[in-house]
Amino acid sequence: MSPSRNSRKLSTGKTSASSPRLLPERELRRIIDTVLRLAKSTGADETEVHVDETADSLTRFANNAIHQNVAERGLNVSIRTVVDSRTARATTNRIDEDSLRASIEASLSLAHSQPKDPHLLPLPGRQRYRNVNRFVKDTAILMPEDRARAVRRACDLAIQNGQVAAGIFANSLHQSALGNSRGLFAAYRETHAEFSVTMQENPAASWAKANAASVSAFDPQKLAQRASEKAHMAIDARELPPGRYTVILEPAAVLDLVGFLFYDFAATALQDKRSCLNDRMGKQIFGKNISITDDAYHPLQLGAPFDGEGMPRQRVLLVDRGVPKNLVYARSSAKAAGKKPTGHGFALPNEYGEAPMNLVFADGDSSLEKMFASTDYGLLVTRLWYIREVDPYEKVMTGMTRDGLFLVEKGKVSSAVRNFRFNQSILEMLRNVELLGPAVRATGEESFEMVVPAMKVRDFHFSEVTKF
C-alpha cells in the first residue's frame, strides 16, 4: 500500500520518542524465572506466571482532522499460585522483586481464603507448540507521522467529495509469555494494524475497515474511497416497511452477528446449560452449506498458539455441513467430559472455562455481484450495530443496520434505504443462507475478528425502522 511505502522511508532505523519497543523474550523469561524462584520460599505448591506487554498507538480523526492521538505502553505480571487444592491470581504492573513478592503473597492469601477444590488439576508440564509468525516489522515501525499522513489523505478525499471523514489508524505490538513451576514455557508476539473510516455526506454515512498483522495487507486510501462512494450512494434514503427481506450481508455484518455464537461452543457453557447447543449437538440445525472450524493457524488469523494454561491450541471442526459436531475444552472441562483438552481454556481461575477464538467459516464462490444478479428484491447490508441477545436459546439477536443499507432490485442496487432494527435468530439465519462468498478476515465493532464470507440470506426479519 502506498502510504506505508512512504512511511518505511521515514521510519526505518530511526529511534525517536515515539517509536514503540518490546522487551526481548529473554527479559520476559527472566521475570517468570524470578517469580518462580521467589515463590519457592513462600509455601506455594505450584506457581504459574503470565507476562503480557503491549505498545499500542492509535490516531483518531473526525471532522476531517486528527482530534485524538495516543500511545500506550504497559507490562503486566499475573501470578497464580496453587496451595492445598486451592488457587487464586494476583496481577501487578510493577516488576521489582518486592512488588513481585507482594503479588505472590497476595495470590496465596486469596487462595487460602477459600474452600478446597477437589477438581483442581495440577499445572500442566512442558508442551510443544506450532510455530506461528505474526510479528511484522512494517507494522511495528509505523510512526505517528506515517499515520497522520495517511489520515490527511483520507480527509482530503472527503473534502474533495464534499464529505466529512472520521476514523482511526492504529498499530500495536503485543507479546505474552507463560511459564510455570513444572517447566512449561510458551511465548508469542504479534503486531496488529487497523484502519477504519466513516465518510459522512449529510444525512448519510458509510464505512470501511480492515485489520491485519501487516499494515501492508490493506490500503487506507482504498478503504476511504470505498466508504466515500457508498456514503454518496446512501443519501436520499427511502423508507421501506419492516418485514422479512432477502439480505446480502457483507462480511462485517456476518461477523458481528455470528460472532455471538462463539461461546456457545464452549464445553463449560453446555455443562452450565447456557449454550444454545444444549440438546442440539449432532442435529442438523444449520444449512448444509455451513461449516465452522476453530483454527488458530489459519493464515488470516491472529493470536497465540497456546491457551491460558499453556496448552497448545488444536484445530477443531465445530460444525460440519450444518451439524454441530465438536466443542472446545479447557483441561478441567475436558476431564469432566472424558475428552482431551483442545487448548482453548481461559487463564484460571475463572467460571467460563474456554471458548473458540479463531473461528473460520467455510466459504463459497459467489461474489457480491453474483449475489446481486440472483436477487430480484432484497437489501444490501454494510454493517450492523449495537447487537444484543434477546433470546439466548433460540439465539435471537437485536440490533440496527448502520452506514449503508441499500435496496437491490432486479440484480442491481437501486436506492438507499432507511436503517432498520432487526430481531433475528442466528440459528434460523444459518438455515437460510442461499449463497456464500469467499471467506475473508472480517472486522466489525461487535465481535472479535473472524474469517467469514459474505452471505445471501432469505427471510431476514426487520421489526422496525428508524428516522434516518
Give, as ranges, the residues between 340 and 399 that touch other proteins (CB under 8 A): 349-351, 385-394, 396, 398-399
Residues 128, 100: Cα–Cα separation, whole Å? 28
The continuous run of DSSP H or E covering 148 comes out as: helix 144-160
Residue whose CB is less far from other proteins, 409 or 445: 445
Cβ 179 to other proteins shortest distance, Å: 19
Residues 415, 413: Cα–Cα separation, whole Å? 6
Q: Which residue in 86, 16, 78, 101 sits closest to 46, CA to CA? A: 86
Cβ 436 to other proteins shortest distance, Å: 26
Angle, helices 97-112 vs 25-40, to 10°: value is: 50
Residue 50 interacts with other proteins (CB under 8 A): yes or no: no
Residue whose CB is less far from other proteins, 196 or 366: 196
Residue carrying the nine cell digits 497476595: 106
Cβ 454 to other proteins shortest distance, Å: 22
Residue carrying the nine cell digits 505450584: 46
Cα–Cα distances (Å) from 228 to 107, 138, 399, 427, in that order, read 53, 27, 24, 34
Cβ 378 to other proteins shortest distance, Å: 18
Whether the Cβ atoms of residue 64 and residue 158 lie closer than 8 Å to each other: yes
- What mask, x for binding other proteins by CB under 8 A, covers residues 15 to 34? -xxx----------------
Residue 337 interacts with other proteins (CB under 8 A): yes or no: no
Total site size for other proteins, rule CB under 8 A? 94
Cβ 109 to other proteins shortest distance, Å: 7
- List binders of other proteins among 155-184 (CB under 8 A): 155, 164, 166-168, 170
Cell of 423: 430481531
- List binders of other proteins among 300-319 (CB under 8 A): none
What is the phi-psi region of residue 330: left when phi exceeds 0, alpha when psi lies from -120 to 50, beta otherwise? Answer: beta
- What mask, x for binding other proteins by CB under 8 A, covers residues 268 to 297? ----xxx---x-------------------
Residue whose CB is less far from other proteins, 117 or 320: 117
- List binders of other proteins among 54-83 (CB under 8 A): 56, 58-76, 78
Residue whose CB is less far from other proteins, 90 or 355: 90
- List binders of other proteins among 128-157 (CB under 8 A): 143-145, 147-149, 151-152, 155
Cβ 297 to other proteins shortest distance, Å: 27
Residues 62, 66: Cα–Cα separation, whole Å? 6
Residue whose CB is less far from other proteins, 93 or 414: 93
* Residues in the chain, total: 468
Residues 316, 343: Cα–Cα separation, whole Å? 10
Residue whose CB is less far from other proteins, 346 or 372: 346
Residues 112, 130: Cα–Cα separation, whole Å? 37
Q: Which residue in 311, 313, 291 sits closest to 302, CA to CA? A: 313
56 Cβ partners below 8 Å, 6+ apart? Answer: 20, 70, 71, 72, 73, 170, 171, 172, 173
Residues 253, 232: Cα–Cα separation, whole Å? 20
Position among 85, 216, 374, 423 found at the interface with other proteins (CB under 8 A): 423
Residue 426 interacts with other proteins (CB under 8 A): yes or no: no
Residue whose CB is less far from other proteins, 162 or 392: 392
Residue whose CB is less far from other proteins, 7 or 314: 7
- List binders of other proteins among 187-246 (CB under 8 A): 196-198, 200, 205, 207, 244
Residue carrying the nine cell digits 507463560: 178
Cell of 460: 431476514
Cα–Cα distances (Å) from 123 to 6, 88, 107, in that order, read 49, 13, 16
Position among 362, 421, 448, 458 found at the interface with other proteins (CB under 8 A): 421
